[in-house]
A and B are shown apart, each in its own frame.
Chain A
Amino acid sequence: MTNGAEYKELAWQGLWKNNPGLVQLLGLCPLLAVTSTVTNALGLGIATLFVLICSNATVSLVRKWVPKEVRIPIFVLIIASFVTCVQLLMNAYTFVLYQSLGIFLPLIVTNCAIIGRAEAYASKNPVKQATFDGLMMGLGFLLVLFVLGAVREVLGQGTLFDGAHLLLGEWAHILRIEVYNLDNQFLLAVLPPGAFIAMGLFIALKNFIDNKIAESAPKKEAKSIERVRVNFDAS
């Protein structure tokens, strides 16, 4: 496999085919709990993305010196140290967001998507590919968080990017879009049950698209090998 094709495959796997949110269904707890607004979803998504890239790179760097028997505790330690970095950074720069994410920020340590990638990919592959894999898996996760957050925010509050300045700084006030005006919130979309229902619909949509693609793809005909029988005895 050439290098370019390998990266392409990694990107395809992370963003669509093996998406951590929609296909592997890893890290569902933060996925469902914090996606009530786009800002929260982006905050957690970016934090997870950062941790995933760094942990994949580090795990891949040290992969030759980590004894097989104790690899999981070592991975967890590496991940936990990066999560601590992110937590301290968010505490310093985006304090309100840090508060609204609450326990789900430190809980990134237990996000199976991260340790899953460390175990399944980063511990077996060179640094460059591992980092790229982390980036793509993280982006895939971020994308799902973002879409889920957007849908829930529009349905629940009728806005988009409400409170984006908490994450991006003061200029981001202009990002806030009021899609429509609601006299009362649609609480189901804001509450966790709404996240479950929306998530189910997204998975259905993804499967639907996959089926359509599979149907429209030209069917490969089974190779039939023609054989010429040569009868040597007859001669």
Chain B
Amino acid sequence: MAFWIASSPHNHLKNKTSALMRLVIYATIPGILAQWYFFGWGNLIHISLAIASALVAEFFILSLREKKIPEQIFDGSAILTAILLGISLPALAPWWISILGAAFAIIIVKQLYGGLGHNPFNPAMAGYVMLLISFPVQMTSWQPPLQLMAIDLSAFDTLSVIFTSYTTDGYSVEQLKRHIDGYTMATPLDTVKTNLTLGLTIAESMDSAVIGKNFGIGWEWVNAGFLLGGLFLIFKKAIDWITPFSFLFSLFLFSFIAFMYSPDSNASTMFHWFNGACMLGAFFILTDPVSGATSNKGRMIFGALAALLVFIIRKYGGYPEAMAFAVLLCNMSAPLIDQYTRPRTYGHKKTQNAQDKTNA
């Protein structure tokens, strides 16, 4: 079990992997609740589909690899991967999206590389990126917040849309995305991005219906929920505070510089913080102990690099949201970061270390 990669001191609580995973799963609850309140049942359905698919995939591979099945299948890591994937999917995506994504995340990204503790990439985000580049239409059909939609969407309707792509009354996903006034709504990040290409300023974009009074109806609360869950995890010492802090601070810094430089073409700092997958990524995905950097200095660089990538892709990239791509690129650079930020061994002096280098 690869949870024990931490170096000395060795005298802290001997948490089992499953206990840690359970804690992280509990911490996603406020965010999921906010998602349910503002966007309806879609994500809950996708989370359950993804969990089922991930468990079946895990069972299949574990039996092929002749591992201890009951112990490893319920260690919570597969369930957590599925939950994170289910949270990030568009609520009205068809059912096979979450099934395929979770199976890919578990089989290819996690188990083929050697299982828990050996995967170089975060499985949930790799699964998400696979889906995004394979099925761009389904993966960008984001549902607007319920309060803005012209058509009422009940739990049963959501289920019907996911499985048959039409509601019980025969409305398609495209029709569901319409505002009462008849135009199709996008996510706040997408709205701002599209409006910029149309020559509108940020201030004009902020008047858009999907953004509401603050930074995006629903999205701000979902992010606040994940922020709350993340703080709970830090308080419980389940995750280290350095990565999220470094990520959020750097994102704040980059967007602040851009905003100061040209407020008409750059969204505000808080808009970046409370939109898209920002908080989910900061507290639940970048802090993945397997695919992230391990030393304190390394985590600082890791978070800052992720923030830089998120900012650049959100501003200049082809996709409105960048968290998943940023995470994968950072996962790739994590071994290199670790190589150059190896902490000094206790008892070795810095000068001695430098001398060793010159001698070698």
What is the interface of chain A, defined by CB distance below 8 A to chain B? 184, 186-189, 191, 193, 197
Q: Which one of B76-84, B129-137, B149-157 contacts A?
A: B129-137
Q: Contact check, A188 vs B108: say whether CB atoms are below 8 A apart.
A: no
Cβ of B138 within 8 Å of any chain A Cβ, yes or no, is: yes
Closest to B135 in A: A184
User: Which B residues touch A184, using CB under 8 A?
Assistant: 135, 137-138
Q: Contact check, A187 vs B108: say whether CB atoms are below 8 A apart.
A: no
Given contacts A186-B135, A188-B134, 14 further A-B contacts (CB under 8 A): A184-B135, A184-B137, A184-B138, A186-B134, A187-B133, A187-B134, A187-B135, A187-B136, A188-B130, A188-B133, A189-B134, A191-B133, A193-B133, A197-B108
What is the interface of chain B, defined by CB distance below 8 A to chain A? 108, 130, 133-138
User: Helix, strand, loop or mixed for chain A's interface?
Assistant: helix
User: Helix, strand, loop or mixed for chain B's interface?
Assistant: helix
Closest to A188 in B: B134
- B158 to nearest A CB, angstroms? 20
User: Which A residues touch B135, using CB under 8 A?
Assistant: 184, 186-187
- A155 to nearest B CB, angstroms? 10
Query: How far is A189 from B130 in the complex, measured between Cα atoms in Å?
Result: 10
Query: How far is A197 from B135 in the complex, measured between Cα atoms in Å?
Result: 18
Interface centre among B133, B134, B138 (most CB of A within 10 A): B134
Query: How far is A197 from B112 in the complex, measured between Cα atoms in Å?
Result: 11
User: Which A residues touch B138, using CB under 8 A?
Assistant: 184
- A208 to nearest B CB, angstroms? 11
Closest to A191 in B: B133
The 4 residue pairs across chains A and B that have the minimum distance between CB atoms: A188-B134, A187-B134, A186-B134, A188-B130
Closest to A185 in B: B134
User: Which B residues touch A186, using CB under 8 A?
Assistant: 134-135
- B19 to nearest A CB, angstroms? 34
Closest to B131 in A: A188
Closest to B108 in A: A197
Query: How far is A189 from B134 in the complex, measured between Cα atoms in Å?
Result: 8
- A202 to nearest B CB, angstroms? 13
Query: How far is A184 from B94 in the complex, measured between Cα atoms in Å?
Result: 12
Query: How far is A235 from B138 in the complex, measured between Cα atoms in Å?
Result: 96
Closest to A187 in B: B134
- B114 to nearest A CB, angstroms? 13
User: Which B residues touch A187, using CB under 8 A?
Assistant: 133-136
Query: How far is A193 from B132 in the complex, measured between Cα atoms in Å?
Result: 13
Query: How far is A184 from B133 in the complex, measured between Cα atoms in Å?
Result: 12
Query: How far is A73 from B316 in the complex, measured between Cα atoms in Å?
Result: 46
User: Which B residues touch A191, using CB under 8 A?
Assistant: 133
Query: How far is A147 from B213 in the complex, measured between Cα atoms in Å?
Result: 56
Q: Give 16 A-B contacts (CB < 8 Å), ordered by A residue.
A: A184-B135, A184-B137, A184-B138, A186-B134, A186-B135, A187-B133, A187-B134, A187-B135, A187-B136, A188-B130, A188-B133, A188-B134, A189-B134, A191-B133, A193-B133, A197-B108
- B172 to nearest A CB, angstroms? 13
- B110 to nearest A CB, angstroms? 14
User: Which A residues touch B108, using CB under 8 A?
Assistant: 197
- B7 to nearest A CB, angstroms? 33
Query: How far is A224 from B215 in the complex, measured between Cα atoms in Å?
Result: 82
User: Which B residues touch A189, using CB under 8 A?
Assistant: 134
Query: How far is A188 from B136 in the complex, measured between Cα atoms in Å?
Result: 11
- B248 to nearest A CB, angstroms? 31
User: Which B residues touch A188, using CB under 8 A?
Assistant: 130, 133-134
Query: How far is A188 from B134 in the complex, measured between Cα atoms in Å?
Result: 5
- A176 to nearest B CB, angstroms? 23
Query: How far is A184 from B100 in the complex, measured between Cα atoms in Å?
Result: 14
Query: How far is A216 from B108 in the complex, measured between Cα atoms in Å?
Result: 29
Closest to B130 in A: A188
Query: How far is A186 from B133 in the complex, measured between Cα atoms in Å?
Result: 9
Query: How far is A70 from B76 in the complex, measured between Cα atoms in Å?
Result: 63
- A187 to nearest B CB, angstroms? 4
Query: How far is A82 from B336 in the complex, measured between Cα atoms in Å?
Result: 45
User: Which A residues touch B136, using CB under 8 A?
Assistant: 187
User: Which A residues touch B133, using CB under 8 A?
Assistant: 187-188, 191, 193
- A225 to nearest B CB, angstroms? 40
User: Which A residues touch B130, using CB under 8 A?
Assistant: 188
- A118 to nearest B CB, angstroms? 36
Closest to B138 in A: A184
